Amino acid sequence: MADINLNARMSQEDGIQEDINLCKDYVKERLFYKSMFLHSDDDLKSGSRLYQDYIKEMKPLLARKCLPGKPEVEATAYLNFVWEKLVNKKCYREWLSLKRSNCYQSVQDKFISKCDGYKRP
């Protein structure tokens, strides 16, 4: 694993997008089953349970998995930088909503397919 300069990475859109995509996969595949809803904007504040979960789960994955080897101050600064991007773009809210919508649609389709004689409009 190559050593990454986190300050330089913060200015590289492709690197940040790579980390945002990792977060998206995590939210849709694992976080969704822990927390389907965001009840208020307080759920996305620094120190919230979602924030603490993000720090715990994403630290080993982001910046090409080099954060655990970095000084804590640098790693935390980078994690906070990515978190702020996610919150400002409302990514968590959008990803959870999309996943929830897809799950509901899947359940509805399965239910309708089991109903004899029901014709879809």
Whether 73 maps to a domain, the answer reads yes
Which tens digits make up the pLDDT trace of 82-120?
999 888 888 777 776 665 555 545 555 655 565 555 555
Which tens digits make up the pLDDT trace of 25-76?
887 777 655 555 455 666 777 888 888 888 999 999 999 999 999 999 999 9
Give the number of domains in the chain: 1
Whether 121 maps to a domain, the answer reads no
Whether 1 maps to a domain, the answer reads no
Whether 119 maps to a domain, the answer reads no
Whether 106 maps to a domain, the answer reads yes
Query: 3-state DSSP call for residue 76?
Result: helix
How do the residues of the chain divide into helix, strand and coil, expressed in percent and rounded to 5?
70, 0, 30
Whether 13 maps to a domain, the answer reads yes
Cα dist from 105 to 6, 87, 108, 112, whole Å: 40, 26, 5, 10
- Structural domain containing residue 32: 6-114
